[in-house]
Chains A and B, each alone.
Chain A
């Protein structure tokens, strides 16, 4: 690309037209604003307003079961929340769920991407097959796993477990196994996303660096550790950020598979907020829980973004 050098003469020649130019620019800006306005208003109405309304609702006691007790309570819902054991349990469940699914997705996704990169044939097919789980609706995924895969005595996973000598397990009825199962389901569904992103980044890495490393007799592990990982870092961090935000607010698959059960073993914060609001009809407290989830998500993503900028 040729570089344009701006000389003082050029600027001088522009000067007489500047007034007209400013008016034109202003008009153009106004026109752009007018074009943008509907979309902007729609965005305000569908994202910002509900959010503000959520925060507003959380300052009230809004109990459909006992409307005579409704009224402004300020921060009371949040005070109750801090001493609500089930809130802390569900927050912990959310963090365990998010942490483990994201870690698994990145590790398995990266491993798959490295494997597929070396494939000489059939890469295209593999990509198509791998992407399938992502396009399924989480609720459908949940139903499939609940009935075909995990049902004791009747499901495929249990059949495999029995044949592997592990015996029949109550996959969704045992608190620990239920947690493992929902983590496995989420990982199964979303690993392809990490895989595709990492594969694309891998494909764009410069070959000459590897060439140089090979000449220097760097081992495969050294090349991975010293070249691939650092170069992939931005992509990996991006995957972690995106998957974390989604995993924290996961809902449909868990809702259909365990509905938070057995007991509260897989009740992530989002599910607890839903149950409080729509099953127990305590809209105010449910809103406070949703706001708490929002805050947690913002904090965690903030930390991740900060880590991305560091170094």
Chain B
């Protein structure tokens, strides 16, 4: 199973967007066409944007508001470069399969697609995508001083690189943070947890199922982007090392302690149903006031702050991942990046690179976030400079207390490139691990047996 990410949120946002567009549509459109002419910030780059004018490329994205905003700005890109971009929206559950099939068959259907950072090892091993340094170092294609690669969040860049080479340019991303109900915490005199131990005891203190409030919730449903989105952080925080002595290892004492913590908190203090929940279910339960705290992607903040559905607006605060016994905090390295399909002819590759450069540039990032004219703004911009922009901070702080500090702190200090094992065999490993975690959670196997079995199944995959 692949992750089933922003469906509900997307639905909500598209709904809100459609309603808003109907109301303010004419105004927004006038605004968008006014921006068309405003290409000066791009033209200050010392490259010829029009060099492959007339090309057409297809870009696969997921139906999420952060890509919708980009699609809205696509006419500006066309005006700037003369390149036509056709967008294809594919649900997150299918985009990996579809792009892998496209890359394997070398048909070059998608010039670029929203790519999972965990897939770059697979892409690079097969030479399905281009190393981006060729394009970054080509002076006719990239004005480095204008593009400022270093400004892009380092953790996401390293997540999209293999052996120091960048294969995908981060466009939008997220970090995992603690989300908690400030009112409930204050009533009991609790503080957001600094350690996993404290997180457990907070959950215990707030767990009152008879009043329909549960202490905590973590993703429980099996899948590489689901329970295997949360568990790797805990594993790393307990001191786990995926490549112990160069050999992929998923069992052992650290893994057992990490899984035991996860199973413990899920069994004791999470709603029973959470064993089958993914992030939208958790965010929904939290916004209905039935969960006191959860740890998940910072981007779910928009769901729990949706005025139409949420009952907890104004009562939400955030903190960084609690530290593990190893003293480390480990958040996710998740981002949607854009690689270049190797199967394309040269001109189309150039066009694709120009598109990627445009989408990842600070200017476009700001125009799709706090400077976006539509109702939904992005919360996962790829640039440190935008994260420090007062307007962006103002927008983000609307999500609740301490949001920017928690997310920024996590982005800068808590990211860990080896959050998950970055090997080409990841799709199989992630699925095997996800199943093992769930069988331990459901009591189908003991923690040790589940992990040992996963190790046994993973070893032949690594032998090649």
Q: Which of A23-31, A61-69, A231-239, A303-311 contacts B (4 or more CB under 8 A)?
A: A61-69
Q: Provided the pairs A153-B271, A262-B439, A264-B439 are in contact, do residues A65 and B222 lie with their beta carbons within 8 angstroms? A: no
**A50 near B: Cβ within 8 Å?**
no
Q: Name which residue of chain B comes closest to A276, CB basis.
A: B428
Q: Does the CB pair A282–B441 fall under 8 Å?
A: no
Question: From residue A213, how far is it (CB to closest CB) to chain B in Å?
Answer: 52
In the complex, what distance in Å separates the CA atom of A281 from the CA atom of B430?
12
Interface-lining segment among A34-42, A108-116, A165-173, A220-228? A165-173
The total of Cβ contacts below 8 Å across the A-B interface reads 107
Chain B: minimal CB distance from A60 (Å): 14
For residues 152 through 195 of chain A, which have their beta carbon under 8 Å from a beta carbon of chain B? 152-154, 168, 170, 172-175, 178
Contact with A along B423-464 (1 / 0, CB 8 A): 011111001100110111111110000100000010001001
A65/B122 in contact, CB under 8 A: yes
Tell whether, in the assembled complex, residue A259 and residue B222 are in contact, meaning their CB atoms are under 8 Å apart: yes
Question: Could you give, for residues 108-134 of chain A, a 1 whenever the CB lies within 8 Å of some chain B CB and a 0 otherwise?
Answer: 000000000000000000000000000
CA distance A154 to B284 in the complex (A): 13
Asked if residues A275 and B439 are in contact (CB atoms below 8 Å), the reply is no
Per-residue 0/1 for A183-227: is the Cβ within 8 Å of any B Cβ (1 yes, 0 no)? 000000000000000000000000000000000000000000000
**Docked complex Cα distance between A175 and B444 (Å):** 6
Taking the complex as formed, is A91 at the interface, i.e. its CB lies under 8 A from any CB of chain B? Answer: no
Q: Say yes or no: is B272 at the interface (Cβ < 8 Å to chain A).
A: yes
Cβ-defined contact, A64 with B442, below 8 A: no
Q: CB-CB < 8 A to B224: which residues of A? A: 279
Q: Using CB atoms, name the residue of chain A closest to B432.
A: A280
Q: Are B1 and A259 in contact (CB under 8 A)?
A: yes
Q: Do residues A174 and B431 form an inter-chain contact, with CB atoms below 8 A?
A: no
Known A66-B125, A262-B439; judge A153-B272 contact (CB<8 A).
yes
Is A275 a contact partner of B431 (Cβ separation < 8 A)? Answer: yes
A275 to B430 alpha-carbon distance, docked (Å): 12
Chain B neighbourhood of A302, CB < 8 A: none
A262 adjacent to B428 (CB under 8 Å): no
Q: Is the CB of A261 within 8 A of B428?
A: no
| In the bound complex, CA of A172 to CA of B222 (Å) | 12
Residues 395-424 of chain B, each 1 if its beta carbon lies under 8 Å from chain A, else 0: 000000000000000000000000000001
Check: B223 CB closer than 8 A to any chain A CB.
Answer: yes
Q: Is B11 an interface residue (CB 8 A)?
A: no
Residue B140, interface by CB 8 Å = no
Beta-carbon contact of A279 and B2 below 8 Å: yes
A178 CB contacts on chain B under 8 angstroms: 442
Q: Which A68-96 residues have C-beta < 8 A from chain B? A: 68-69, 86
Chain A residue with Cβ nearest B427: A281
Q: Is A170's CB under 8 angstroms from B272's CB?
A: yes
Q: Which residue in chain A gives the minimum CB-CB distance to B94? A: A278
CB atoms of A175 and B276 under 8 A apart: no
Is A269 part of the contact surface with B, judged by Cβ < 8 Å?
no
Contacts of B275 in A (CB 8 A): 170, 172-173, 262
Min CB distance A147 to B, Å, is: 9
Q: Does A243 contact B (CB under 8 A)?
A: no
* Closest Cβ–Cβ distance, residue B214 to chain A (whole Å): 9
Min Cβ gap B182→A in Å is 24
Residue A263 lies at the interface, judged by CB distance under 8 Å to chain B: yes
Q: Tell me the bound Cα distance from A204 to B253 in angstroms.
A: 68
- A261 near B222: Cβ-Cβ < 8 Å: yes
Taken together as a complex, chains A and B put the C-alpha atoms of A178 and B273 apart, in Å, by 12
Q: Which of A67, A146, A151, A262 gathers most chain B CB within 10 Å?
A: A262
How many angstroms between the C-alpha atoms of A205 and B440 in the bound complex? 54
Q: Say whether A174 contacts B443, CB under 8 Å.
A: yes
Please tell me if A265 contacts chain B, counting CB pairs below 8 Å: yes
- The answer to whether A279 and B428 have CB atoms under 8 Å apart is yes
| Given the contacts A174-B443, A263-B439, A281 and B271 also touching, CB distance less than 8 Å | no
Q: Which of B255-296 touch A at CB < 8 Å? A: 271-273, 275-276
Chain A's closest residue to B101 (CB) is: A64
Judging by beta carbons under 8 Å apart, are B444 and A263 in contact? yes
| Chain B residues with CB below 8 A from A153, complex form | 209, 212, 271-273
Chain B residues with CB under 8 Å of A262's CB are 222, 275, 438-439, 441-442, 444
- The contact string, 1 if C-beta is below 8 Å from chain B, for chain A 270-293, is 000001001111100000000000
CB neighbours (8 Å) of B1 from chain A are: 259, 275, 279
Docked Cα-Cα span, A274 to B59, in Å, equals 27
A279 touches B427 (CB 8 A): yes
Interface pair A263/B2, CB less than 8 Å apart: no
CB-CB under 8 A from B438, the residues of chain A are 261-263
Interface residues of A, Cβ cutoff 8 Å to B: 64-69, 86, 146, 151-154, 168, 170, 172-175, 178, 258-265, 275, 278-282
8 contacts between A and B (CB under 8 A): A67-B104, A152-B271, A173-B220, A175-B442, A260-B222, A281-B100, A281-B427, A281-B428
